[in-house]
Amino acid sequence: MDFNQPMCEADGTCHEPASLPSPRTVHSAKSKAQFQQWHKFHSQLEKEAKLAAKHEVDVLFLGDSITEAFRGSSLGRSNVSRTRGSPEVLYTEFKQFPNKLVLAVSGDQTQHLLWRLHHGELPPSLQPGLIILHIGTNNIRVGHLPEQVAEGVQQIVHFLSARCPEARIVVNGLFPFVEEEMLEKICPPRCSTEGFPFASFKPAIGKVNHLLRDLIRRAENPRLEFVDCSHLFFAKPHSPEVAIGSNLAASPPAFDSPEVVRDKDSWVNQDLMPDLLHPNAKGMQQWAQCMLFHIEKGVQLLKASPSDASQNS
């Protein structure tokens, strides 16, 4: 098999739909070794989930490399420099949740997480009190459209809600990132009207966050909330109200925005995200504190008026 194949063809057809369960394939694994490591790590996480299900789990983290950093690893391999200090952040900031479980895999997209959940990583007996989800960045990186990414997240949320009906589910908005090489790689199909690679992923990220916020609001489920901490990772100060994707007055454009963001220093905070994609320990700490603020706010609203809780965030 020839690995590292494009996810989406020039006509826009994507080989792994973002909303359908799929393991890694030649379109989402860079090599045979990575393909095998992914399956090996999934087996490890499946065993951890089954073991954790025998006890009470206070909080379950699901996602990709950003969330896997809480384990101090990347695709199951430890001693990764960019994750240094992140496990300590997990245990320090989330100390009020004694039993924590992190089931996250570097490079995963929505369809991969959905497949893992369907294949043993969320056994029926595993009933966490809180589920924190952060997924979709890698879908955007390989060319899935924002609408497709949002649909993938929605399918994950549907599965989680059905399997864990008593759990609170926190859906995180995507963070800003810069990766010009991937912009060039996914063109075509994701090109400007002139046929050139887009200048930035920023409009696509904003569109995903806008769609996710809208989906969560329309669900009117007091146990489901959207939290957007993306403002933390801008180089220039942003408030949550003006962070990408937060403005509900108008739907942000997808990849076809005329906005040009060529200067990587102009919008990503490298103090918190040195490689322009993954938060470091300081960034992870600020993200954790941002989440906990909204989680506590949601608890207070839930206690005060269950019917109003869905308006949180």
Q: What is the pLDDT of residue 235?
A: 86
Q: What is the pLDDT of residue 297?
A: 79
pLDDT tens string 273-296? 999 999 999 999 999 999 999 998
Query: Which among 84, 90, 100, 103 is positioned nearest to 285, based on CA atoms?
Result: 90
Beta-sheet strands, E only, within the chain = 59-63, 100-104, 130-134, 168-172, 224-227
Residues of the chain with pLDDT under 70: 237-266, 298-313
Distance CA 234, CA 267 (A): 5
Task: Look at strands 224-227 and 168-172 and give their pairing.
Answer: parallel
Angle at 156 between CA 134 and CA 98, to 5 degrees: 55
Q: What CA–CA distance (Å, rounded) separates 20 from 98? A: 33
Cβ contact 134:102 at 8 Å: no
Residues 31, 120, 67, 221, Cα dihedral to 10°? 130
Q: Which two tokens stand for residue 216?
A: 């969560």
Give the pLDDT of residue 246: 36
The angle formed by the CA atoms of residues 281, 287 and 90, to the nearest 5 degrees, is 55
Q: How many CB atoms lie under 10 A from the CB of residue 6?
A: 16
Which tokens belong to 164? 């864990």
- E strand or H helix that includes residue 207: helix 202-219
Q: How far is CA 112 from CA 132, 185, 270, in A?
A: 17, 21, 29
**φ/ψ (deg, to 5) at 121:** -85, -5
Q: One-letter amino acid identity for 309?
A: A
Q: Around Cβ 55, how many Cβ atoms within 10 Å? A: 9
The 10s digit of each residue's pLDDT in 171-185 is 999 999 999 999 999
Quote the CA–CA distance of 252 and 272 in Å, as a whole number. Answer: 25
- The answer to whether 120 and 104 have CB atoms below 8 angstroms apart is no
**What 3-state DSSP class applies to 169?**
strand
Q: Which tokens sit at 221? A: 């489920």
Q: How far is CA 250 from the centre of its chain?
A: 23
The structural domains of the chain, ordered by start, are: 32-311 (3.40.50.1110)
pTM: 0.89
Q: How many residues are present in the chain?
A: 313
Q: What pLDDT, on the 0 to 100 scale, is given for residue 113?
A: 99
Instruction: Report the pLDDT value the prediction gives residue 298, as an integer from 0 to 100.
Output: 67
Phi, psi at residue 226, to the nearest 5°?
-105, 130
What is the β-pairing status of strands 168-172 and 100-104? unpaired
pLDDT at 252: 43
